[in-house]
């Protein structure tokens, strides 16, 4: 993990003492399940009490703060679910904290809600974007690692010795850089894909399955961000490839480069 002085615990505790915190996990694939699992681990570790978002619950802009799971769901032109969820709920809450994310586009929405949102970026490109539209670092904007780095990974491991050589875990969706067929490929992040991760047990079991799969291998080749992060945390030799936009390289530069020497970003 990198360290820029930002303390996520202090931010959440500052609202925990005065408001009721409500958590909504971001939808997506099993990598988003890793984000949710790590968030649950972080909340438990720091004795933060949060309720799960319930569409039938009545929330108050005086009493409630929404914690949105973050990740890579706020990318204009690729995904709309996260933006639409926040847009439909923002006025029900005192503040909305967007957990560590890569964010691209939706400029009007973010400008319009600058007084309601606190945005945590997981890499510098997104941070500079928000600075350019009026957010202030240290006030309603901060830079921190992807939530997967907060995972209590030993709780998910089987501790088996690696008996296999190389795992290829490349994307088969719209974020693939070129959509090329990869031999013997296992896109394990697509084992689950949807709005599932408010289910704590499913999140943790899905994350455990991903980790148990990766534990058996010595080398991991992937363009999946959370496969690369999990494999790095496990100490694997990781060849990390670009996705269709800057996300992978930007997170690598902020959180993996110089911290996980066995992880290499492959630009070509």
Strand 193-194 with 164-169, pairing:
unpaired
Q: State residue 150's pLDDT score.
A: 98
Q: Are residues 163 and 226 in the same domain?
A: yes
Q: State residue 250's pLDDT score.
A: 98
Q: State residue 196's pLDDT score.
A: 97
Q: Are residues 16 and 144 in the same domain?
A: yes
C-alpha 141/C-alpha 125 separation (Å) is: 13
Q: Are residues 133 and 175 in the same domain?
A: no
What are the per-10-residue average pLDDT scores of the chain (268 residues)?
83 96 97 98 97 97 97 96 97 98 98 98 98 97 98 98 97 90 92 96 98 98 98 98 97 97 94
| CATH number of the domain residue 123 falls in | 3.40.50
Q: Is 77 helix (H, G, I), strand (E, B) or coil?
A: coil
Where is the domain boundary, 98, 116, 149?
Answer: 149
Q: State residue 3's pLDDT score.
A: 64
Tell me if 1 is assigned to some domain.
no
Tell me if 2 is assigned to some domain.
no
Where is the domain boundary, 108, 125, 149?
Answer: 149
Q: Are residues 119 and 225 in the same domain?
A: no
C-alpha 100/C-alpha 116 separation (Å) is: 17
Where is the domain boundary, 117, 149, 181?
Answer: 149
Residue 97 structure tokens = 């904290």
C-alpha 212/C-alpha 230 separation (Å) is: 10
* The total number of structural domains that make up the chain: 2
Residue 241: CA count within 13 A, CB half-sphere = 19
Residue 22: CA count within 13 A, CB half-sphere = 20
Q: Residue 110: in which H helix or E strand, if any?
A: helix 107-112
CA distances (Å), origin 255, targets 16, 88, 170, 225: 27, 32, 21, 11
Q: Are residues 18 and 137 in the same domain?
A: yes
Contact (Cβ atoms closer than 8 angstroms) between residue 193 and residue 172: no
Q: Are residues 122 and 162 in the same domain?
A: no
Contact (Cβ atoms closer than 8 angstroms) between residue 102 and residue 145: no
State phi, psi for 102 to the nearest 5 degrees. -105, 125
Q: Are residues 29 and 72 in the same domain?
A: yes
Cα angle, residue 112 at apex, residues 108 and 116 outer, rounded to 5°: 135
Number of H-type helices and E-type strands within the chain? 8, 13
Tell me if 98 is assigned to some domain.
yes
Q: Which domain holds residue 86?
A: 8-149
């Amino acid at each position: 993990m990198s360290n820029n002085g930002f303390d996520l615990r202090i931010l959440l505790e500052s609202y925990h003492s005065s408001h009721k915190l409500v958590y909504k996990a971001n939808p997506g694939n099993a990598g988003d399940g890793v984000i949710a699992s790590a968030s649950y681990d972080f909340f438990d570790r720091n004795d933060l009490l949060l309720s799960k978002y319930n569409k039938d619950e009545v929330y108050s802009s005086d009493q409630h703060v929404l914690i949105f799971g973050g990740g890579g769901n706020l990318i204009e032109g690729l995904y709309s679910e996260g933006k639409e969820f926040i847009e439909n709920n923002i006025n029900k809450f005192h503040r909305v904290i967007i957990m560590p994310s890569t964010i691209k586009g939706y400029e009007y929405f973010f400008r319009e809600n600058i007084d309601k949102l606190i945005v945590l970026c997981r890499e510098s490109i997104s941070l500079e974007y928000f600075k350019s539209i009026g957010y202030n670092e240290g006030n309603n904007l901060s830079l921190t690692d992807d939530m997967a780095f907060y995972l209590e990974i030993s709780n998910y491991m089987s501790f088996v010795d690696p008996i296999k050589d190389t795992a290829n875990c490349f994307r088969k969706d719209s974020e693939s850089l070129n959509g090329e067929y990869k031999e013997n490929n296992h896109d394990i992040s697509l084992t689950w894909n949807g709005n599932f991760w408010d289910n704590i047990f499913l999140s943790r079991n899905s994350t455990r399955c991903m980790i148990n799969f990766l534990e058996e291998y010595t080398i991991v080749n992937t363009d999946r961000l959370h496969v690369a992060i999990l494999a790095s945390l496990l100490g694997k030799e990781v060849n990390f490839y670009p996705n269709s936009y800057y996300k992978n390289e930007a997170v690598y530069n902020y959180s993996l480069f110089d911290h996980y020497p066995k992880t290499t970003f492959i630009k070509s």
